[in-house]
Structure 1
Amino acid sequence: MTAVESASAELTYESTRATAQVDGLTFNYHEAGTGEPLLLLHGSGPGVSAWSNFRHNLPVFAQRFRTIMPDLPGFGASDLPELAEVYPIAAARLIARFMDELGIESVSIIGNSMGGAVAAELSALYPERVRRIAIMGSGGLSVGIFQAEPSEGFKRLFEFLEEPSRERMIGWIKTMVFDQTLITDELVDERMTNATADGVLARTGAIFASMFNPANQQKYVPLWTRASTFTTPTLMLWGRDDRMLPYDQAHFANRWLPEVELHTFARCGHWVQVERKAEFERVAIEFLTRDAAEGEA
């Protein structure tokens, strides 16, 4: 057994789990490791949580960082606030206060999909609190150029939310990965159980409704329109075969962000952290620790 496999066996859901109170809301999160703080922010698919999204990556990052994986507001076991603005902005404000509760002044962030959008909004709101971000198949700073809207992945997601079924869950998961052998009965069962738990569909619906609410949209200035003013060093990680947020969305941000790198994974869909686990971890850690490594040199 390798050191990482041994650590993975020790880092269970319950052994890493904790809660924090933020503005009267309960935040569920998982924490392991010591060192510079690193937030892992998950995406928004049916049945998602921090643990389901990143549990297999946690042992690797915990070897280098104080790694914290919160359930974003309204997902997993975290409460959902009233949403008077688009979800990524509301969640970013709450994550900043969550950092306060944990005594974290500044942080690096890895964000997957919706988590990447939240990471980008947090960086824009509080640039002094975010050292670097690595965002994976993320919205926020990215925007569709060539692909039709909504994407195939979003169509399958909204079909599931409208009328949940095992068949529709499988249809959505198929758009998440290039390697279809990753779609196991165990994965589908876990996601179905989580997605259809009491209150989950209503919360997920409210989250997406906040982003399509005309009143919220009217007062929201999309982050991608301010990309040239974004100051946080950013690594974009993208599966070339992403059918949720297609790869072409990376190129606007790659052109306009002042400090940006783009790493593309062939034969990979939306779940980079799953399909290209080792490569994702290696590239992300190199980017996040680069300043320290240069200082040692």
Structure 2
Amino acid sequence: MTSATYESTLVTKDVEGLTFAYHEAGEGEPLIMLHGSGPGVSAWSNFGDNLPVFAEQFRTVMPDLPGFGGTGLPELDEVYPVVAARWIARFMDHLGIESAAFVGNSMGGAVAAELAAQFPERVRRMAIMGSGGLSVGIFAAEPSEGFSRLFEFLEDPTRERMVAWIRTMVHDPRLITDELVDERMRNATAEGVIGRMKAIFGSMFDPRRRETYTPLWTRAASFTTPTLMLWGRDDRMLPYDQAHFANRWLPEIELHSFAHCGHWVQVERKYDFERVAIEFLTRKAPGPDARS
């Protein structure tokens, strides 16, 4: 089945007064896929082409994160990934999901990691791509080129600035089609979207909130969740060097990098991403004599 067949799977659900929009397809063990935070993003824009493949193996749920797509923005009384992780836990409760495997792209990876920190029993394992949270910059200057272009767009949301931002997402410029730019512009300039994005990023850089927040990467050695990090070697949003801190400190981690690939691993290396992620997510735990 093609991705177009699954586009109609979009539904909404009220979760404790917050509207969640999400796609769901397939049967089996639950898998929750969390998207990134770029302008005009949604679960479908990040993972729509991957859904048919994952739905063959899992009960696959793709929610729009709080404040993105069709999901409402709750009060941001803490940094965004913490708030979003708690709402994803409530969302799981309303779907009757006690624990799940997770795939997280960029911000979605940070939210999955926050969920694993707060409620480790709910995250069976996670495959996170170009993810913040558990990773941290070692060599590259901050803000990255990708974040600089993103913030420029938020201040002046023109088509030219959208194209400039998308260029930092991919290694292969042939992926930047008029259709892609039009869709992202349409979604990003819809009523209220820019304001919500500014609030989300504002919570993450607010000195008052950061004073009371202990970054995930400082707790990396305490994580018990089996983790696969996937990274494009040519990522200009969250550069590849960030992967190595997590790869050194997380007790249960694997790192897989992709050449000729930017931030959108699931787009530029679609088939390899699906193959590597599914192998990790379906792998049987080793027996007690596996290391003998």
Under TM normalisation by the shorter chain, which class is it?
over 0.9
Question: How far 1:10 sits from its partner (Å)?
Answer: 2.2
3-state SS of the aligned residue for 1:11? helix
Mapped to 1, the partners of 2:11 and 2:59 lie a distance apart of 14
Q: 1:57 is matched by which residue type in structure 2?
A: N
Q: Report how far residue 292 of structure 1 moved.
A: 7.1
One-letter amino acid matched to 1:48: V
Q: Aligned runs of 1:198-277 on 2, under 5 Å?
A: 198-277=191-270
Alpha-carbon distance in structure 2 between the residues aligned to 1:292 and 1:257: 18
CA drift of 1:225 comes to 0.1
Query: Which residue of 69, 89, 96 corresponds with 2:62?
Result: 69
CA RMSD across the alignment: 1.1
Alpha-carbon shift at residue 171 of structure 1 (Å): 0.1
* Aligned pairs for 1:1-297 within 5 A: 6-12=1-7, 14=8, 16-291=9-284
Q: Distance in 2 between matches of 1:293 and 1:221?
A: 33
Work out the CA distance in 1 between the residues paired with 2:122 and 2:105: 19
| Superimposed CA distance per residue, residues 161-219 of structure 1 (whole angstroms, 9 cap, x where no aligned partner) | 00010000000000000000000000000000000000000001100000011111011
Identical amino acids, percent of aligned pairs: 76
Q: How many residues align?
A: 287
Report deviation, 1:8.
2.9
Following TM superposition, where does structure 1 have runs of at least 4 consecutive aligned residues deviating by more than 4 angstroms?
Answer: none
Letter of the structure 1 residue corresponding to residue 16 of structure 2: D
Give deviations 1:38-84, integer Å, cap 9, x for gaps. Answer: 00000000000001110000000000000000000000000001101
Aligned residue type for 2:231: W
Deviation at 1:124, TM superposition (A): 0.5
How much has 1:9 moved relative to structure 2? 4.1
Per-residue Cα deviation, 1:99-136 (whole angstroms, up to 9, x for no partner): 00000000000000000000000001000111000000
Paired residue secondary structure (2:255)? strand
Tell me what 1:3 maps to: none
Residue 22 (structure 1) shift: 1.7
The 3-state SS of whatever aligns with 1:108 is strand
Distance 2:207 2:275 in 1: 41
Going from structure 1 to structure 2, the CA distance change for 1:293 and 1:181 (only over 3 Å counts) comes to farther
SS at 1:111 equivalent:
strand
CA distance in 1, matches of 2:88, 2:49: 23
Sort the Cα spacing of 1:243 and 1:26 in 2 relative to 1 into closer, same or farther, 3 A: same
Stretches of structure 2 lacking an aligned partner (at least 5 in a row): 288-292
Q: CA deviation at 1:293?
A: 9.7
In the superposition, the TM-score normalised over structure 2's length comes to 0.97
